[in-house]
Amino acid sequence: MQTASSRPRSGAPNVAGVKVLIYSHGTRGDLQPYLAVAHALNRAGHTATLVGPSIFEPFAESYGVRFAPVTDEGVKLLQRPDVRKLLLTTDPESEEYRKAREAIFREFMPKTYPVLLRQFWDAARGGADLLVHSHHSRQVMHQMAEKLGIPSVLATLHPNLVASRRYPAQLGSLEARPDNLEQHARVNSAPLNPLLVEMISTWRTETLGLPLRDDYLDFRHRPDGRPTPVLHGFSPHVLEPAPEWPDWVHTTGFWSLPANQRPSAELLRFLEAGEPPVFFGFGSLAHGDPEKTGQLVLDVVRRTGVRAVVVTGWGGISITDPPANVLVESDVPYDWLFPRVRAAVHAGGPGTLNAALEAGIPQMACPFHKEQLMWGNHLRDLGVAPEPIPYNDLTVDGLVEAVRHTISDPEIADNTRRLAEKLKGENGAENAVKALEHIHREA
């Protein structure tokens, strides 16, 4: 396994002008790390095209990154009340969740997935030297690379997609168990949903013009049997690399996107007017009652006596008449803001928590779903945050106690500072570029 610090670079020839397709899907938080890699590729003299939901085209273009839009119906699906309720209130291990998810799948996928597959291929028709993709739709990305005759690269923020004893195969879990390798073997051999297989096989034969060879759904290997290279977009100081990971697994550090927007004059005045505030923001999967969330935040601020910057994101928090010690903003670059606040209270998404870790500020997670809970628990285990409080369990009393703990615990502060020192200068996106150059040379 290669990490940013262990991978030899001296004497390696420079690689210029590599044409890279990068596929991402999901919310803005899902897409942003991949935009960071695309931006870093362009800065290094390569040509990157980011493929993602059309709603994010202006975001990509603001960084000068070429963007190929695909349908954003998947993003809209996440905003549907029934889907939000399923994600936020239902146990993902329950039979109720399984049945509801299957019903949504059968309603949504036949109408949308064939369109998405065609658009994926339309974006690739111009050719490329490398095809980089997230774990979303991973069963199809390598097939486009096969058609183009180029390597595909799995780029993920999860440690669960490469077999190891340290991490299970289940996304959203970091539990080290004796049977993890066996679990990986079971997951790798488990059949896909028959409806999904039918749509993919039709697309492969009719759109790509490829035959249905053995193991054509196996994204972990190239057609010649060589393993698919993997980029891990997390720091080895945050998630320890598994000893079983081979040298085609590159752990680069988190892919941070530099700020390209100026803070508002109002935010600058607010920060200069008093002690550093506490950040509150719950991202793009917020609960369907933004007024209730806003009132909860105001009650916590009043009882703790802190100043606060509240970022509403996609409308998950609504505060219409904030007091003088609260500033409400719709969007703020975290890498600029976080060094100027005393703590961050957030949902537990990897982008937000990594920005807080790099800034060296205490944080706490109020997760909405299982993956965010995983990260919240891991922050606790690293000693840089208190116990996470799932959003559905939030009370004013509980959050008041947690915020007080977060901003006053000297052990959390010391652990946070030490970890920030280790992360300083890691430059995950630049390391990802070097790894992609290496993969291109070895192809």
Report phi then psi at 14, rounded to 5.
-70, 145
Rounded CA separation 349/157 (Å): 11
Segment holding 358, helix H or strand E: helix 350-359
Whether the CB-CB separation of 139 and 192 falls below 8 Å is answered with yes
Four-residue CA torsion sign, 89, 91, 94, 99:
positive
Question: What DSSP letter does each residue of 381-407 carry, written as one string?
Answer: HHTSS-----GGG--HHHHHHHHHHHH
* pTM, to two decimals: 0.91
Closest CA to 350 of 417, 257, 422: 257
Closest CA to 355 of 245, 253, 256: 256
Rounded CA separation 306/311 (Å): 16
> Which stretches in the chain have pLDDT values below 50?
5-13
Report phi then psi at 103, rounded to 5.
-65, -45
Rounded CA separation 420/337 (Å): 16
Amino acid at 279: F
Both tokens assigned to 229: 């290279």
Architecture of domain 265-423: 3-Layer(aba) Sandwich (3.40)
Rounded CA separation 392/366 (Å): 9
**3-state class (DSSP) for residue 53:** strand
Which pLDDT score is estimated for 27?
85
In terms of residues, how long is the chain? 443
The radius of gyration of the chain from alpha carbons, rounded to an integer in Å, stands at 22
Both tokens assigned to 413: 């502060």
Both tokens assigned to 291: 């007024």
Residues of the chain with CATH 3.40.50.2000: 2-254+426-442, 265-423
DSSP single-letter state for residue 339 = G
pLDDT (tens digit per residue) in 178-195: 889 888 888 887 878 899
Torsion over CA of 122, 126, 129 and 134, rounded to 10 degrees?
A: -20
Which pLDDT score is estimated for 7?
43
DSSP single-letter state for residue 226 = P
Q: Which residue has the tokens 């807080």?
A: 356
pLDDT (tens digit per residue) in 48-69: 999 999 999 999 999 999 999 9
Which pLDDT score is estimated for 315?
61
CATH number of 2-254+426-442: 3.40.50.2000
Q: Which residue has the tokens 């802190």?
A: 306
